[in-house]
Chain A
Amino acid sequence: MKHILVSFMEGIKNVWATKYLIGIMLIFKLVTSLILGVPLYLMFSTSFAANIKASNFLTGFNPSLVIDFVYYWRRTLSIYVFMFILTSILIIIAYIFLSGGFWGVLRDQAKRRVKDTPTVTSGSGTEGFFAACGKYFGGMFKIGLLMIPLYLFAFLIWLIFIAILGMVVGEGSLWVLTSWRTISKILIALILYFCCNMLGDYLRIFMLEKEDDHIWVVIRKAFRFVWTNLSSTLCLYYLLSIILVGVILFYGGMYKLVSGISPTGIFIFIAFLLQQLFVVFHSFYRLIFYSSQMSLYVRISDRDDHPGEDLDFKMEMRGE
């Protein structure tokens, strides 16, 4: 268990040492959300800024205003939805570009910490970051495409699970959220999603490490790595996920507290700050996901390359 915690702590340290990555992630989210949001802001201010009834929104959701809003803007909204989808695709591509930089910088950081390997990315700071973005874009893009059939395959497994569940215990009500049937469906979906997501992360790590290999070789190596070290990779991933869920729940509670008392100016601002703090946190935390898993990989591969150096660590890893 120790090496998982060590990887996790190292992950945090590595992200902290490269704080500018958080800044880049944050700016990316703010800018893209702003691009998606500006048309909404313009429509909102046209319909609601000088509208007495809009004060209803301060105390809750007013379906009448929203229904009429949608009807009035229906033509604009249909264009907006189209543009929204298009922009979203561009955002995904932009993120694939940036992710090369995130992974590249964090990999160097992890290696430096574990075994003082010279930096792989040329330059330092943002210069090195963007160099890595460009360098790994092709590979990251291929992995992005590869994730589509992977998720489809997971979805298929989920459908088979549901079918078996239906055959064994009969169809239940979809809406009784508390029934064990629904809970097990959601749990299986989450587990499958997490597995795919984790596999994606290790694929990226191996793509960075074995950059001269063919993509299929990378896939094979990544899958083999995850499989042979399944307990470690899964444990680390679930440790990360559980902490994230905890923070989300905490945030939800805090937000409910603030939004409950937010009819005017200053409270709207506080609620907004809280939201943005959460965005900062999940930007930070995503990088921790990346870098913890990177640390785990570097540690395992380093010990595999130099057997006997840290017997305790290795034995524990193999479950002996």
Chain B
Amino acid sequence: MGKVLMKGNEAIGEAAIRAGCLNYFAYPITPQSEVAEYLSRRMPEVGGMFLQGESEVAVAYMLFGASACGERVFTTSSSPGISLMSEGISYVAGAQCPVVFVNIIRGGPGLGGILPSQGDYFQATKGGGHGDYRLLVMAPASVQETVEMVMMAFPLAEKYRNPVMILGDGLIGQMMEPVEFPDHLRTEPTNKDDWATNGMDTRKDNKQNLVKSLYLDPTQLNDHNLLLKAKYERMKQEDVRYEPYNTDTDYKVLIISYGTMSRVCRTAIDNLKAEGLEVGMIRPQTLFPFPEKAIHDAAIKESCKAVISIEMSMGQMVEDVERCVQGKRPVEWYGKCGGDVPTPEEIMDVVRNWKLET
């Protein structure tokens, strides 16, 4: 199939369909309501299911119920909506259901604003809901990559029986870019007969399946958490994704940046290169599992004097970067909230200033 020009939000909806997910529940919120508008038209065309729930709280449980009977399901929302879904996400993770969530982040806290932000990094990677659970979190930097990540999210969610979150920002949702829906990313849902509540008649063994998260016995609950932990460790082994940029040079500074912000950083890096200053970048594509080793190894390169985490937040990912660098290089943060994306010039200044100080 050739390329089509599409807005990010519509491409998200289409990508899920092309991936083989025909069930969507959602509640409208700016800046991603176009996904619901697009799918309310498109799902009936492909024999799929669209339902606008009464709240994000309810939507999370609609996803839970549908996923628990073995069907592929997904939703899209933005920050305040994801906060409301977080109770449900904790249950979905506890009960090991493969639901896909897309968060097109807007500025916070509270109602915040409707412009692009990366302020939900902690919420996505460290929890949000209660208890010891993790989401597999992917952060796209273009509409094409959003399409691919949405399509990959379903088999990944099923591989781990764990919720997956796509973390984008308002720019990704609103951007128009030519996209392609790669056929090889269409997958068949896995067989879920060993755990899903899809009706005993449909299964060979004719025994009760339970989808639950309650373990009153302390040993059982500990065992359950160990099982979840083993999955998160496996993600770290098998599904870390990142993209290095200009790291085959003797860079003086290493930037860590993801999503739309990393595109601006690329421009800054190209401009600085023209000025004769080499800067490298590691762009995490998965935020959990985090590219710990890649960042560590890139930071301790002989030529590298400092690491700067550049994010549209007041310094969230930088805590993970510090953890990876283990004090072996100074780690700085630069960022902005509110919707003004830092410009290449600003980033160039930040990098140059660092060089001047050393």
Asked if chains A and B come from one complex, the reply is no
